[in-house]
Amino acid sequence: MPNKKYPSVVFKERIKSIREELENYCNETVDLYRKATSLFEKYDQKKADEVIERSKEMDIYGYEIERSCIRFIAVEQPLATDLLYVESSIRVMSHIKRIAYLCRNMAEASNEIKDITVPEQLQSDVQFMIDYVQIMLTKGFRAFVNQDITIARELSNDDDKVDDLFDSILKQITQLVAKKEDFALGVINLLFLTRYLERIGDRVVQIGDRIVFINTNRRPRIEQLKEEN
């Protein structure tokens, strides 16, 4: 009996399908993020409801993709790089699903601050953080789809900028509370929104680390800890 040819035509088609599903999921997540964050500048209840409902649908869709990956491993028994890519895709999907869930949280948080007068500087800084995280999100997903380790390695530095923005916003909100401005307590709810943004940035960095691992078999954070010790 002749040995099974690897990879077969069916194998190529199945892994191509998984890659396309992952790319589509990434694109839909970016779109969901844009809709969720647009509520900060102009709240719309209908759009907020759409974001919440869509995040639930994407959670189900994400599990379907994960099952496709598991089924692919069981049936096709991929080797080496292909196995590492599919197995890592399951892990990446958990981060992307979480990002979609955080978009839902942001839509709900926007409802709490829609009637609050936010100081101009604070408003500007939050919007800048929103834009910066979107850039990170787009870069991270593009790096994953293209398996671009150069871009993946940039994400950690981008996240440092997001953390700095969060710290600045936290300081401003703390000062408002200390001054006991009429709107100060309401502005505290804005902290939740920016916290969700920070957590999205953290998730994108973890996706970047996984991309590096797929292509180098090295985990950036673990290697850094080894160097520090």
Cα gap 57→172, rounded to integer Å: 36
Range of the domain at 139: 10-228
Report yes or no on 66 lying in a domain. yes
**For every residue of the chain, which 3-state class applies, written as one string?**
CCCCCCCCHHHHHHHHHHHHHHHHHHHHHHHHHHHHHHHHHCCCHHHHHHHHHHHHHHHHHHHHHHHHHHHHHHHHCCCHHHHHHHHHHHHHHHHHHHHHHHHHHHHHHHHHHCCCCCCHHHHHHHHHHHHHHHHHHHHHHHHHHHCCHHHHHHHHHHHHHHHHHHHHHHHHHHHHHHHCCCCHHHHHHHHHHHHHHHHHHHHHHHHHHHHHHHHHCCCHHHHHHHHHC
| Share of residues in the chain with pLDDT > 90 (%) | 65
The per-residue pLDDT of the chain, averaged, comes to 88
**What values do phi and psi take at 29, rounded to 5?**
-70, -40
Indicate which CATH number applies to the domain containing 213: 1.20.58.220
Look at residue 69 and tell me if it is in a domain.
Answer: yes
Spatial CB neighbours of 106, under 8 Å, sequence gap ≥ 6:
36, 37, 39, 40, 51, 193, 196, 197
Residues 108-165 pLDDT 10s: 999 988 888 888 999 999 999 999 999 999 999 999 999 999 999 999 999 999 999 9
pLDDT at residue 221 is higher than 80: no
Domain membership of residue 111 (yes or no) is yes
Residues in the chain: 229
Alpha carbons 147 and 150: distance in angstroms, whole number: 9
Number of Cβ within a 10 Å radius of residue 203: 21
Look at the chain and report how many structural domains it folds into.
Answer: 1
Model-level pTM? 0.88
Q: What digits encode the pLDDT tens for the residues 163-190? A: 999 999 999 988 888 876 666 667 888 8
- State the pLDDT at residue 8: 75
Determine the pLDDT at residue 123.
92
